[in-house]
């Protein structure tokens, strides 16, 4: 089993919980690149991915998407501190078979692992309720339409980073950041940059 999380203490804690109930070998990786290499070199029978890695709130989605291009069968469970049902739904549509909040009790964590490892789907009850409400209320499709690049930049805007800092962190041009921000304003109905930052915070924290 491979756990991809940039906090070693968290990865070790989850690994210990699982080993105590389901004896198995645990591998760990702290970045998407390390996670990709660990999958390629060891072909684990299950992968657990945190949505946020380093400064990127949606890095886990990119790893899942990359894995699904080459491996449609390996069970993938997402664990996260995000409360956003929008991101939870995006993770499932990207290819994860389950999602659970990091603060779930140990018994629920083990149940989620067992379900996903057996090839079944699992969703934390809090996310399940929120996603159901989104469907009933007809939540805006603009959120679903965001690309990974747009989500990445929106996350950094929500943190208060300037276009210049975003371009440096994401290794893209200032013009690209500006163009993406303009697209985000249109998709999310933001009047200006300040409004876009507010909508970015709501995107990652609300629902």
| Domain residue ranges of the chain, discontinuous segments joined by + | 2-137, 141-205
Question: If you search the block for the tokens 């800092």, which residue do you land on?
Answer: 165
Distance of alpha carbon 42 from alpha carbon 150, whole angstroms:
32
Q: What is the pLDDT of residue 137?
A: 52
Share of the chain above pLDDT 90, in %: 39
Listed range (22-31, 49-58, 131-140, 192-201) with the worst mean pLDDT:
131-140
In 3D space, the residue among 150, 151, 5, 154 whose CA is nearest the CA of residue 78 turns out to be 5
Q: Write the class of the CATH domain 2-137.
A: alpha beta
100 contacts 112 by C-beta, under 8 angstroms? yes
More confident residue, 165 or 140: 165
Distance of alpha carbon 132 from alpha carbon 117, whole angstroms:
24
Pairing state between β 76-80 and 98-101: parallel
Q: What is the pLDDT of residue 133?
A: 65
Please report which residue ranges of the chain form alpha helices under DSSP H: 8-21, 32-42, 59-70, 85-94, 106-117, 125-137, 141-145, 148-158, 163-170, 174-188, 193-205
**What CATH number matches the domain at 141-205, 1.10.3470.10, 3.40.50.2300, 3.40.630.10, 1.10.10.10?**
1.10.10.10
Q: Tell whether the model's pLDDT for residue 141 goes beyond 50.
A: no
- Residues 11-61 pLDDT 10s: 888 888 888 877 788 999 999 999 999 999 999 999 999 988 877 778 898
Q: Which residues have CB under 8 Å from 114's CB, separation 6+?
A: 22
> 55-59: long-range contacts at Cβ-Cβ below 8 A with a sequence spacing of 24 or more?
55/156, 55/159, 55/169, 56/152, 56/155, 57/82, 57/151, 57/152, 57/155, 57/204, 58/87, 58/148, 58/151, 58/152, 58/155, 59/32
């Amino acid at each position: 089993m491979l756990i991809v999380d940039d906090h070693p203490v968290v990865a070790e804690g989850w690994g210990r919980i699982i080993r105590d109930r389901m004896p198995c070998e645990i591998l760990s990786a702290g970045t998407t690149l390390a996670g990709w290499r660990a999958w390629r070199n060891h072909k684990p029978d299950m992968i657990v991915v945190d949505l946020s890695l380093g400064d990127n709130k949606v890095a886990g989605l990119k790893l899942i998407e990359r894995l699904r291009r080459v491996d449609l069968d390996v069970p993938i469970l997402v664990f996260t501190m995000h409360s956003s049902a929008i991101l939870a739904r995006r993770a499932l549509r990207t290819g994860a078979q389950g999602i659970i909040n990091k603060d779930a009790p140990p018994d629920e964590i083990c149940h989620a692992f067992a379900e996903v490892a057996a090839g079944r789907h699992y969703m934390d009850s809090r996310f399940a309720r929120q996603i159901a409400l989104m469907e009933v209320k007809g939540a805006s499709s603009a959120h679903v339409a965001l690309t990974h690049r747009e989500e990445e930049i929106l996350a950094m805007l929500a943190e208060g980073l300037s276009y210049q800092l975003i371009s440096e962190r994401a290794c893209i041009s200032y013009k690209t950041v500006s163009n993406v921000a303009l697209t985000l304003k249109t998709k999310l109905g933001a009047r200006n940059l300040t409004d876009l930052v507010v909508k970015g915070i709501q995107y990652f924290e609300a629902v």
